[in-house]
Amino acid sequence: GESVGLHLPTLSVQEGDNSIINCAYSNSASDYFIWYKQESGKGPQFIIDIRSNMDKRQGQRVTVLLNKTVKHLSLQIAATQPGDSAVYFCAENNANAGNMLTFGGGTRLMVKP
């Protein structure tokens, strides 16, 4: 299958622990942020999003935190499972630039059983 590439920051966690994946974004005008998960052999898959007028949003086992002061985004995964092993990308969207998404470089999450 298709793979992303081997030269990524890697986070290794024990099954059942919580994971925190961080992302720094560049454009203070970005109004919408998204986290994507990419498993080996597949295209990126939407996980959760947050608008710039919020600082926290929760989904099922996932939470996204947004700190606009330092332009920092994080994804928290509770009770990490082997199926969470993947590469995670943050993306920022600027509605004033044709809704073009700009992606971060990605972080590889490895879950140890």
Partner 1 sequence: EAQVTQNPRYLITVTGKKLTVTCSQNMNHEYMSWYRQDPGLGLRQIYYSMNVEVTDKGDVPEGYKVSRKEKRNFPLILESPSPNQTSLYFCASSPTIAGSSYNEQFFGPGTRLTVL
Residue written as tokens 């969207």? 93
The answer to whether 21 touches 104, Cβ cutoff 8 Å, is no
Nearest approach, Cβ of 50 to partner 1 (angstroms)?
11
Judged by CB under 8 A, does residue 107 bind partner 1? no
Contact string 20-59 vs partner 1 (x = CB under 8 A): -----------xx-x------xxxxxx--x-x--------
Distance CA 94, CA 104 (A): 14
CB atoms within 10 A of CB 95: 11
Q: Which residues of this chain interact with partner 1, rule CB under 8 A?
A: 2, 4-8, 31-32, 34, 41-46, 49, 51, 89, 91, 93, 95, 98-106
